[in-house]
């Protein structure tokens, strides 16, 4: 039986999970693939601490080059994360004729152009199923299962930490800070959760989804990114009263010859499947021309779900190696109808807006007068009761409006003497 030798760099949580799955499922994987996936080396800075798997200590090394330069190793699994030195490890492995499996969305989203072309020039592949949606086979589905389709849009809840916080606020009526504290206590949020909460982790994942779905590797600078750290409980509750949930959505949407690529808190109607995705779960909702609308749902992180995705990539690569072929593995094909990326200023949609205003005669008229001046039409408006300070929240839903017009209108309204604090505006998406 053909043996495929692999080397793993990073003996952490996911690395141990990969070893566990390969050990536990050895005979099943052999039966299913006609191949043996053999762990030849495992590299980590720390090879002494105990992990939850048994491994022959002779396989452990602290020396990365013992993996990247071992002529018997066919595939290198990079599970270090971050840009450097993960990038150097991957490049050295490719330079030495190995294909690579990685879960490193940050690296691929920011430096994928260089890495993918480096791999292509050497007829090697970089597979990255574990980088988006944990064990959900979204990458394989886009590149294989849906190969005959073109996509109109991809909407993803791809950050478990943010989704946990927003769901908690909505279900338990707690503040952002209380929900974040709970996420940390439960081990769902990193010690420094900035990348998650400010939308960057979602943006990295979105870049990879856009690459597969639309064949364009967009730069991070071209993605509009806004996180959830300014979402207040008041807005979660007002949105709910109006029939919406707030979700951090990663959005790729084709509008004629333009592509919108953005991440931001979004109001979606409660009836939509994505609105009921709670806790740390992820979901990706794909609109395709032949297969229709599809929802991919599951745990977005976790040792064994990410490891399951890594093993799926290993099996794919092993089969390529066995067949002696280099498939242009990702089936990337540019959507040529797309001529440019649409800037956030030019997007058009409905908005939820909350003003905090003094409860005086004529306030609403002043606000609606400015909105009308910018051609923004109000679909609904509610004024809440005020407290002692005579300051009232005025909550509006607009009809379709251009983002740029909306921003200009809000800037003018914020300057009115009757307005107590800057308006909050959250985009509404008809998914
Ligand atoms: N930090 C990520 C999240 C998990 O919260 O979803 C890994 O992608």
The verdict on 15 and 33 lying in the same domain is: yes
Cα 323 to averaged position of ligand 1 atoms, centre (Å): 35
The verdict on 117 and 148 lying in the same domain is: no
Q: Which of 323, 355, 378 is the last residue of a domain?
A: 323
- pLDDT, averaged per 10 consecutive residues of the chain (431 residues), comes to 94 97 96 94 96 96 98 97 97 97 98 95 94 97 94 98 98 97 92 95 98 96 97 97 98 96 98 97 98 97 96 94 72 88 97 95 96 98 80 96 98 97 97 93
The verdict on 289 and 391 lying in the same domain is: no
- Which candidate, 248, 312, 253, 251, places its Cα nearest to that of 281? 248
Cα(70)–Cα(65) distance, integer angstroms = 7
Q: Provide Rg for the chain, Cα atoms.
A: 24
CATH number for the domain including 275? 3.30.360.10
Q: Select which of 20, 205, 253, 254 is catalytic.
A: 205
Q: What is the pLDDT of residue 113?
A: 95
Q: Tell me if 300 CB under 6 Å of ligand 1.
A: yes
Cα 427 to averaged position of ligand 1 atoms, centre (Å): 23
Residue 378 lies in a domain: yes
Q: What is the pLDDT of residue 392?
A: 93
Residue 109 lies in a domain: yes
The verdict on 204 and 115 lying in the same domain is: no
Q: Tell me if 196 CB under 6 Å of ligand 1.
A: yes
Q: What is the pLDDT of residue 149?
A: 95
Q: Under a CB-based contact definition with an 8 Å cutoff, are residues 156 and 209 in contact?
A: yes
Dihedral, CA of residue 339, residue 221, residue 426 and residue 374, to nearest 10: -60
The ligand 1 atom at the shortest distance from the C-alpha of residue 161 is: 5
CATH number for the domain including 35? 3.40.50.720
Residue 330 lies in a domain: no
The ligand 1 atom at the shortest distance from the C-alpha of residue 189 is: 5
Residue 333 lies in a domain: no
Residue 233 lies in a domain: yes
Cα 113 to averaged position of ligand 1 atoms, centre (Å): 23
Q: Which of 323, 355, 386 is the last residue of a domain?
A: 323
The verdict on 69 and 160 lying in the same domain is: no
Q: Tell me if 301 CB under 6 Å of ligand 1.
A: yes
The verdict on 393 and 373 lying in the same domain is: yes
CATH number for the domain including 369? 3.30.70.260
Q: Which of 261, 289, 323 is the last residue of a domain?
A: 323
Please, which residues bridge with residue 399 across strands?
none
To the query of whether residue 41 is one of the catalytic residues in this protein, the response is no
Cα 16 to averaged position of ligand 1 atoms, centre (Å): 18
| Protein residue closest via CA to atom 4 of ligand 1 | 301
The verdict on 351 and 392 lying in the same domain is: yes
Cα 158 to averaged position of ligand 1 atoms, centre (Å): 7
The verdict on 310 and 285 lying in the same domain is: no
Q: Tell me if 161 CB under 6 Å of ligand 1.
A: yes
The verdict on 319 and 373 lying in the same domain is: no
Residue 332 lies in a domain: no
Q: What is the pLDDT of residue 1?
A: 83
The verdict on 143 and 165 lying in the same domain is: yes
Residue 335 lies in a domain: no
Enter the pTM of the model: 0.96
The verdict on 43 and 127 lying in the same domain is: yes
Domain that holds residue 122: 2-131+303-323
Q: What is the pLDDT of residue 94?
A: 97
The verdict on 244 and 212 lying in the same domain is: yes
Q: What is the pLDDT of residue 328?
A: 56
Residue 62 lies in a domain: yes
- For the chain, the domain total comes to 3
The ligand 1 atom at the shortest distance from the C-alpha of residue 132 is: 8
């Amino acid at each position: 039986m053909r043996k495929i030798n692999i080397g793993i760099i990073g003996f952490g949580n996911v690395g141990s999970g990969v070893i566990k799955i390969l050990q536990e499922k050895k005979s099943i994987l052999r039966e299913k693939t006609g191949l043996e996936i053999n762990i030849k080396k495992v590299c980590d800075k720390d090879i002494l601490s105990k992990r939850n798997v048994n491994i022959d200590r002779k396989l452990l090394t602290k020396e990365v080059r013992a993996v990247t330069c071992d002529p018997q190793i066919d595939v290198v699994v990079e599970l270090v994360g971050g840009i450097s030195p993960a990038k150097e490890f991957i490049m050295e492995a490719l330079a030495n004729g190995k294909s690579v499996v990685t879960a490193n969305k940050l690296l691929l989203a920011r430096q994928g152009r260089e890495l993918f072309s480096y791999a292509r020039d050497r007829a090697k592949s970089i597979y990255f199923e574990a980088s988006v949606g944990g064990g959900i086979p979204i990458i394989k589905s886009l590149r294989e299962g849906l190969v005959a389709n073109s996509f109109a849009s991809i909407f993803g809840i791809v950050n478990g930490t943010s989704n946990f916080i927003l769901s908690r606020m909505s279900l338990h009526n707690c503040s952002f800070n209380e929900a974040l504290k709970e996420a940390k206590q439960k081990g769902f949020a990193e010690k420094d959760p900035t990348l998650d909460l400010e939308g960057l982790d979602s943006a990295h994942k979105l870049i990879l989804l856009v690459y597969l779905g639309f064949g364009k590797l967009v730069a991070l600078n071209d993605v509009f990114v806004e996180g959830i750290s300014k979402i207040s409980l008041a807005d979660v509750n007002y949105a709910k009263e109006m029939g919406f949930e707030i979700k951090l959505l990663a959005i790729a949407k084709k509008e004629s010859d333009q592509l919108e690529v953005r991440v931001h808190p979004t109001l979606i109607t409660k009836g939509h499947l994505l609105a009921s995705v709670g806790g740390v779960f992820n979901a990706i909702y794909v609109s395709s021309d032949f297969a229709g609308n599809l929802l991919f749902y599951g745990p977005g992180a976790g040792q064994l779900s990410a490891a399951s995705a890594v093993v799926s990539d290993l099996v794919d690569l092993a089969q390529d190696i066995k067949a002696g072929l280099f498939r242009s593995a990702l089936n990337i094909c540019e959507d040529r109808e797309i001529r440019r990326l649409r800037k956030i200023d030019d997007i058009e949609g409905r908005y939820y807006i909350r003003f905090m205003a003094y409860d005086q005669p004529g306030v609403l008229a002043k606000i609606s007068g400015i909105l009308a001046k910018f051609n923004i039409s109000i679909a609904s408006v509610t004024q809440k009761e005020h407290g002692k300070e005579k300051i009232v929240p005025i909550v509006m839903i607009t009809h379709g409006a251009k983002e740029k017009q909306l921003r200009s209108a809000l800037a003018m309204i914020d300057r009115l003497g009757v307005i107590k604090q800057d308006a909050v505006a959250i985009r509404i998406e008809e998914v």
